[in-house]
Chain A
Amino acid sequence: MARPHGIVVNLVAIAIAAIGMAPFALLILLAFSKSPTSLEGFTLDNFAFLITGKLFTEARYSSIYPDIYVVTLNTLILALSVSGIVVLLSSMAGYVLSRYSVPGRGFMLGLILALHGIPVIILLIGLYFLLRSMGMINSLLGVTMAKAVLDLPLGVWVMKGFYDGVPWDIEIASIVDGAGRLRTWLRIMMPLIRPGIAALAVLEFISGWGEFLLIYTLIFSNTSWTLSMVIRGLIGEMGSVNLNLIAALSLYYFIPVLLFFIFTQKYLLRVSLGGVRG
């Protein structure tokens, strides 16, 4: 169906794409704007926090908002851990579910789909008390585990799909040659599905990097904040005063996602579809 249907339709499509891009273009312009509330001129001053680590020079604000580099480090640790945990556990479970006819396999696959659709709201209150009793409330570790496990069903489903795409012959050859299952998985299968692993790793990095709700609910002290909490705090406190500063911080927060998106969108399209279609 990729037949071009005349210039008008193509122009309409370009206009629609431009409309979709507009919010992000506006964000970029605002981040470099001289005026705090409107688009005016060009300045790098809004990014001064990159040098000092402090969003505000006034002492009363800088005590509320932690050092931006600490916050960035928290965000990065969360995103990398979520990505690592999900990739590791899903490539293990996905392999077994793709290659073994273990008892209850059909039930497990159904359960994975059900868990993928489980609403966060039913978990939040229980998670709050679970983490509280485990001493993991108000800690990044608790949020990391909760976030990773919430994303795990999707990861397993996606990885199973990638394993399903590898022909059996390669694996049989390796096993006949005397390599055990563990060795075959590590040395033969994992390298073969490297694109799948990369795609899931990126998707999960983005997911962990952008997480808000779990941190908002389970973290109280600002030393464990991530960038989403800082921006949320700024919007609440000075949402209509310091727009250009919020935009600059938002852009700083958004850039890794944007870079990943530009370079891996082909894979991302595949993974985000795999999550719901099997």
Chain B
Amino acid sequence: MRLSRVFFLLGFLGVPTAVVILFILVPAILTLIISFTGLDHRFRWEYVGLENYRKILIDPNIWIFVVNTAIFVVGTLVFNVGVGLFLALLSTHVAEPIGYLVRAVYLLPRVTPSVVFAFIMLWIFSPLDSGVLNSFLRNLGIEPIPWTTGYPWIFLFIVNGLVGCSLGMLIFTSAIKSIPQDYIVAARVDGASTLTIILRIVIPMIRGHIMFVTAYQTLSLITSFEYILLTLDGGPGYYTTEVWALAAFHRAFAQYALSSQYGYAAAMTAFLVASAAILTALYWRAFRIREMISQPKIEL
């Protein structure tokens, strides 16, 4: 290898690698190390072994977090994949400019700053009379409905689902567009209705994509908590919508620094990420992600 080539590779790969190590790998390992300590607001490092993990297992609230995480992941996932599929099917069965408009509009929540989107949704679904839906109902002479306080999960499915559904929508759209027209035309000649074609040809042919989106979003939803933090923040009431990741976040970055339990929170995080990692390994096998990484054609 020539010296200039070594320098070239070191510079081009070395600098990105170095920052990734410093700002991703080191923090991740630090979190893991902290999970074996009793670190709190006093910032004293004392090794406590598996004490934090033991405390998690006997925490009376732990099942609330587990159940909440399951509800959150399943509900949002159904919304994400279902609405994503619906939008993809709808936008590919209408005039192209209209289909394009639908896709562009439903991509908006993803690029909107999270605080802004959270604010709009909180206002629309506000349980107060000033909320958009409630002032609409009041004009119709109907009793206001306590949207967020009465149906917090539905509200969270809608907020997170609107942000998340565009991924499925875009992937399904390009999958549907790549289905050979012959199949559709042949089915139509045989007298199949559009609904039959969608159910018998389109959906079976994009099954792989549906599985991929389901897998990908399951994993990201398990550790997701930003929009819950920004809207209901685990409430209303006692841990009603406190998912595992949010509980860990609250333990570490509480409103009052004095109540921060970094060690315990780090252990909760490690627990969560370990379960996500096991799931990822299973998906990796099931979906053969390795095939997406092709070798370069020639080497200069």
**CB-CB contacts of B89-119 with A at 8 A, as 1s and 0s?**
0111111101101111111101111111111
Interface centre among A9, A122, A171, A257 (most CB of B within 10 A): A122
- Within 8 Å of chain A (Cβ to Cβ): is B210? no
Please state if B27 and A38 are interface contacts (CB–CB under 8 Å). Answer: no
Nearest residue, chain A, Cβ from B104: A265
Let me know if A199 is at the binding interface, CB within 8 A: no
Report yes or no: A126 in contact with B98, Cβ–Cβ below 8 A.
Answer: no
Q: Please tell me if the beta carbons of B226 and A126 are within 8 angstroms of each other in the complex.
A: no
Chain B residue with the shortest CB-CB distance to A241: B130
**Chain B neighbourhood of A106, CB < 8 A:** 290, 293, 295
**Interface size of B in residues (CB-CB distance below 8 Å):** 106
Q: How many residues of chain A are within 8 Å of chain B by beta carbon?
A: 99
* Chain B, 124-155, CB within 8 A of any chain A CB: 124, 126, 128, 130, 132, 135
Contact of B223 among A17, A121, A239, A269 (CB under 8 A): A121
Distance in angstroms between the alpha carbons of A24 and B124 in the assembled complex: 11
Q: Which residues of B contact A9 (CB under 8 A)?
A: 90, 93-94
Is there a chain B Cβ closer than 8 Å to A129's Cβ?
A: yes
Is B115's CB under 8 angstroms from A38's CB? no
- What residue in chain B is nearest A184 (Cβ atoms)? B300
Q: Which stretch, B48-56, B58-66, B74-82, B169-177, touches the partner chain A? A: B169-177
| Chain A residues, Cβ within 8 Å of B179 | 1
B30/A125 in contact, CB under 8 A: yes
Chain A 122-151: CB-based contact to B (< 8 A → 1; otherwise 0) = 111111111000000000000001101110
Q: Which residues of B contact A130 (CB under 8 A)?
A: 22-23, 26-27, 30
Report B-chain residues with C-beta under 8 Å of the C-beta of A150. Answer: 23-24
Question: Are B105 and A5 in touch, CB under 8 angstroms?
Answer: no
Is A181 part of the binding interface, using a Cβ–Cβ cutoff of 8 Å? yes
Please tell me which one of the listed residues B16, B124, B273 contacts residue A119 in the complex, with CB atoms under 8 A apart. Answer: B273
Cα-based distance from A226 to B300 in the complex (angstroms): 46
CB–CB B272/A235 < 8 A: no
Task: Give the shortest distance, in Å, between A51 (CB) and chain B (any CB).
Answer: 22
* CA gap between A246 and B28 in the complex, in Å: 36
CA distance A3 to B91 in the complex (A): 11
Q: Is A253 touching B116 in the complex (CB atoms < 8 A)? A: yes
Interface of A is mostly: helix
B262-285 CB contacts (< 8 Å) to partner A:
262, 265-266, 269-270, 272-273, 276, 280
**How many whole Å from B254's CB to the nearest CB in chain A?**
12
What residue of chain B has the Cβ atom nearest to residue A257's Cβ? B111
Once the chains are docked, how many angstroms separate the CA of A21 from the CA of B106? 8
- The verdict on A213 contacting chain B, using a C-beta distance below 8 Å, is yes
- A114: chain B residues at CB < 8 Å are 280
Whether the pair A121, B272 counts as a contact (CB closer than 8 A) is yes
Q: Give every chain A residue within 8 A of B297 (Cβ-Cβ).
A: 168
Query: Is the CB of A63 closer than 8 A to any CB of chain B?
Result: no
Residues of chain B within 8 A (CB-CB) of A227 are 113
Q: 8 Å CB contacts to B: which residues of A235-278?
A: 235, 239-240, 243, 246-247, 250, 253-254, 257, 261, 265, 268-269, 272-273, 276-278
> Does B30 contact A100, Cβ atoms closer than 8 Å?
no
Give chain B interface residues in 162-184, CB to chain A under 8 Å: 166-167, 170-171, 174, 176-177, 179, 181, 184
**C-alpha gap A129/B252 in the complex (Å):** 12
| Neighbour of B226 across the interface among A92, A156, A212, CB < 8 A | A212
Asked whether, in the complex, the Cβ of B19 is within 8 Å of the Cβ of A145, the reply is yes
The distance in angstroms between the C-alpha atoms of A156 and B26, with both chains bound, is 20
- Select from chain B the residue with minimum beta-carbon distance to A231: B115
Smallest Cβ distance from B190 to chain A, in angstroms?
A: 17
* Residue contact B171 to A90, C-beta cutoff 8 Å: no
8 Å CB contact of A4 from B94, B167, B299: B94
**Which residue in chain B gives the minimum CB-CB distance to A132?**
B43
Report if A210 contacts B (CB, 8 A): yes
The 3 A-B pairs with the shortest beta carbon distances in the complex, nearest first, are A126-B27, A126-B30, A119-B223
Could you list 18 further interchain pairs (A-B, Cβ under 8 angstroms) beyond the known A130-B23, A268-B107? A5-B194, A20-B102, A23-B124, A30-B123, A92-B11, A100-B299, A115-B24, A119-B223, A122-B27, A123-B28, A125-B31, A126-B29, A126-B32, A152-B19, A181-B5, A209-B113, A231-B116, A269-B107
A-B contact pairs, 15 of them (CB 8 A): A1-B93, A1-B177, A2-B92, A5-B194, A17-B105, A26-B120, A27-B120, A129-B34, A175-B300, A206-B111, A210-B112, A231-B115, A231-B116, A235-B122, A254-B112
